[in-house]
Amino acid sequence: MGYGCYIHVPFCPGPAKCPYCAFYSVPYESGLAENYVEAVLGHAGRLEPPKIDTLYFGGGTPTVLDIRLLTRLIDGLKNLLPLNELIEFTVECAPDTVEPEIFSELAARGVNRVSIGVQAFEEGVLRSLGRRHDVPKALRAFDILRNFPVDISIDLIYGVPGQKHADWQNTLARTIALRPEHVSLYCLSYEPGTPFTRKLAEGKIFRTTEENDEEMYRTAVEILKSNGYEHYEISNFAANGRVSLHNMKYWTGEGYVGLGPSAHGYYPGPPVWSRFAAIDDIRGYIQAIERERDPIGEREELSLALRLEEFLMLGLRLIEGFSRDDLKRQIPEIDADRVIEMLEPLISAGFLEMRSGNIKLPDERLFISDSVILRALELTDLDIKTPPGF
């Protein structure tokens, strides 16, 4: 398999960011956008990556880029990177940025997957979320996209203050009726520094209960599965095997390069395993490229212990879990049998299970995956001689 390539497009239509969002983005400015595109291409030109087979434009909102810039970016990347064996090319978009003219250009350039930030098919919930689009706009966007040969992935949010169970069921039903190839779910989280988190602290909104969120999650899993969607990762569902190949790379320890401010990359070894994050400020990033300085803001070399941590953390997010062979392949230096032995207490307590040779989270534990993973990390901690009792 080849590498993935993630391009962070740090622009949103504005004027303000969505009040719950902590991703790095700035309001769209055409001059800045132009410099940004040149910087990304400059960055790409410095890389000597191996073959790349998935491309992912995320954001922000990539489709706010002027179509001229977007095509310049894609064409430029094609010249600079080994993209001739590209299998999957995803672009994220917001419903109010979907226009036929844009997508005909994109489809012509190989975009074959679109992830659309619908969030909800309920006006009330959309308003609570402070989104710019409404339900008709979302439907219109979907209709437009259906005219192109692209897989469509719909993003949905639950656990929103004021969102009723019936709202959520309605949103799920309307989603299924559209038959997107892929669905991603998010539970609203309160990220530091966002307006939502501030309102929470001020007592203007109230956090939904754990029970509520779990109930919504279970409902979604049930409805999606009974409608033919394969639940393949904690938050992701695919029809007819149309999983996100790019995202799969994150969970299976494959390499990817990251371009654009705050984009992350991963270069697995041997001999060294490193993670990178580009400078997370657009002007800083552009300047670094223009002045031929290093655009990487953070770089981390993974120790054996960290590689094992990540392996467990990511592998257990997949519904099918991981196998002994996956572990041997990804971390040949450690004794896979010993690691699996160390996880035994979690298996016998029913927090993990062994299924056809794979270790995985039982369905009913998915929603407490972080707790289980945490315990798994403690049990397998390479730095601690005796793991804590269970």
Partner 1 sequence: MQDKKYIRNFSIIAHIDHGKSTLADRLLELTGAVEIGGHEEQLLDDMELERERGITIKSHAVKMDYESPDGATYELNLIDTPGHVDFAYEVSRSLAACEGALLIVDASQGIEAQTISNLYLAIDNDLEIIPIVNKIDMISARPEDVAVDIAELIGCDLGDVILVSARTGEGIQAVIDAVVEKIPPPVGEAKNPARALIFDSFYDPYRGVVVYVRLMEGEIKHGDTIRFFASGKEFEVNEVGCLRLNLEKTSSLSAGEVGYLMASIKNVQDARVGDTVTTLANPAESPLPGYREVKPMVFSGFYPSNPDDFEGLRSALEKLQLNDASLIYEPETSAALGYGFRCGFLGLLHLEITQERLFREYGLDLVATVPNVEYEVYLENGEMIPVENPAKMPDPLEIDHIEEPFAEAEIITPHEFVSPVMGLVKERRGEYIATEFVDPNRVMLRFSIPLSEVIFDFFDKMKTVSRGYASFDYYITGYKRADLVKLDVRVNGDLVDTLSIIIHRERTYDWGQKLVSKLKELIPRQMYEVVIQAAIGSRVISRARRAPLRKNVTAKCYGGDISRKRKLLERQKEGKRRMKMVGSVEIPQEAFFAILKIER
Binding site residues, partner 1, CB under 8 A: 4, 6, 8, 23, 56, 58, 184-187, 189, 210-211, 213-214, 234-235, 249-251, 256, 258, 262-266, 275, 277, 298, 300, 306, 309-310, 313-314, 317, 351, 366-375, 377-378, 388-390
21 interacts with, out of partner 1, ligand SF4, none, CB within 5 to 8 A per kind: ligand SF4
Cα gap 266→3, rounded to integer Å: 9
Three-state DSSP string of 69-83: HHHHHHHHHHHHCCC
> Measuring CA to CA, which residue among 265, 299, 282, 280 is closest to residue 38?
282
172 interacts with, out of partner 1, ligand SF4, none, CB within 5 to 8 A per kind: none
Q: State the residues that interact with ligand SF4 by CB under 6 A.
A: 12, 17-18, 21, 23, 25, 59-61, 94, 117
Our CB check for partner 1 shows the closer of 213 and 281 to be 213
Our CB check for ligand SF4 shows the closer of 117 and 258 to be 117
Residue 85 sits at the vertex; the CA angle it makes with 237 and 91, to the nearest 5 degrees, is 45
Instruction: Report cis status (omega within 30 of 0) of the bond before 60.
Output: yes
275 interacts with, out of ligand SF4, partner 1, none, CB within 5 to 8 A per kind: partner 1
Our CB check for partner 1 shows the closer of 143 and 363 to be 363
Per-residue buried b or exposed e for 161-174, using 16+ beta carbons within 10 Å of the residue's own CB: bebeeebbeebbeb
378 interacts with, out of partner 1, ligand SF4, none, CB within 5 to 8 A per kind: partner 1
CB of 311 to ligand SF4, least distance (A): 29
Residue 40 sits at the vertex; the CA angle it makes with 114 and 254, to the nearest 5 degrees, is 60
256 interacts with, out of ligand SF4, partner 1, none, CB within 5 to 8 A per kind: partner 1
The tokens describing 370, both together, are: 């972080």
Helix (H, G, I), strand (E, B) or coil at 359: strand
389 interacts with, out of ligand SF4, partner 1, none, CB within 5 to 8 A per kind: partner 1
CB of 52 to ligand SF4, least distance (A): 24
Our CB check for partner 1 shows the closer of 263 and 336 to be 263
> Measuring CA to CA, which residue among 225, 94, 236, 220 is closest to residue 158?
220
Evaluate whether 268 touches 310 at the Cβ level (below 8 Å).
no
